[in-house]
Amino acid sequence: MLNFHPASFSAPGKAVPLEINEVLTELIEMQRLDSGLDELDKVKKRLLNDIAVIDTNVQLEKNKLQDEKKGQEELVKSRKALEMEMGTLESRIKKYTSQQNDVKNNDQVTALSQEVDKDKLEKTAAEEKILDILFQEDEQKAKVQTLAKKISDEEKRAAEAKNEIQQKITDCDKAVSDKRQERDRQLTKIEEPYASSYERLRKAGKKTVVAHVTEDNTCSGCNMNVAPQMFNEIRKKIAITTCQCGRYLYIKD
């Protein structure tokens, strides 16, 4: 049900008591200031998120660069392993070739010759793989250099963008400070118990403390119905009226 805060009454046809208008006016102004602070808080969060997005994008590129560098390192490791394998094959070829001159048995000569031919084939295959890897290394090196240059350019752009955003955050903080001071002054203009009630509702999470009655006779804060009799009393401003949700009610002029 709707609650009423007693206030001075006016006889039919006379002007609305000034104090009721003043209380509502001051409460509405307080809400306007708080709405401004809420909006500034949203603006700052968006700006901080913009900085986070910039940092994330740069970091993603850096992660790509690290992956490309790892790919480059893997190619070097593969090439060096093949080069070691080629060295082993060359040593074996020399050893088997030398042994061919020392044996007199044709079967042994044939066996050594087969081992030499086999190692030569493996050496040729290793050489071809090394050449292919060297080609891949050149491509990977160019890719790493290009990506590193891209990151360097992006870091410069990111730093400039973040400086601009940081300036906006500084301006936002200044606006918040000014508005909070204005809010403190405004709070002193609101008499009790309305000031304490207003603060309590705000702390309870109600962004709208002073709600207008809509055209279909509902509280714009909670959408609960306002009875016709109550609507008329609110319209006539007989008293400061609150909804079941605790919000102060008024009718827009």
Domain locations along the chain: 3-250
Q: What is the pTM of this model?
A: 0.75
* Nearest alpha-carbon partner for 242 in 216, 214, 213: 213
215 burial class (0-12, 13-18, 19+ CB within 10 angstroms)?
exposed
Pseudo-torsion of CA 106, 112, 114, 118, nearest 10°?
180
d(CA 74, CA 92): 27
Query: What are the strands of the beta sheet with 248-250, ordered from one edge?
Result: 3-5, 240-242, 248-250, 210-212
The CATH number of domain 3-250 is 1.10.287.1490 = yes
> What is residue 18's predicted lDDT score, i.e. its pLDDT?
53
- Give the list of residues 6+ apart from residue 112 with CB closer than 8 angstroms, or none: 96, 97, 99, 100, 103
**Backbone torsions φ then ψ of 17, nearest 5 degrees:** -55, 130
> What is residue 69's predicted lDDT score, i.e. its pLDDT?
97
Regions in the chain scoring below 50 on pLDDT: 1-16
Q: Is the dihedral of CA 176, 180, 186, 190 positive or negative?
A: positive
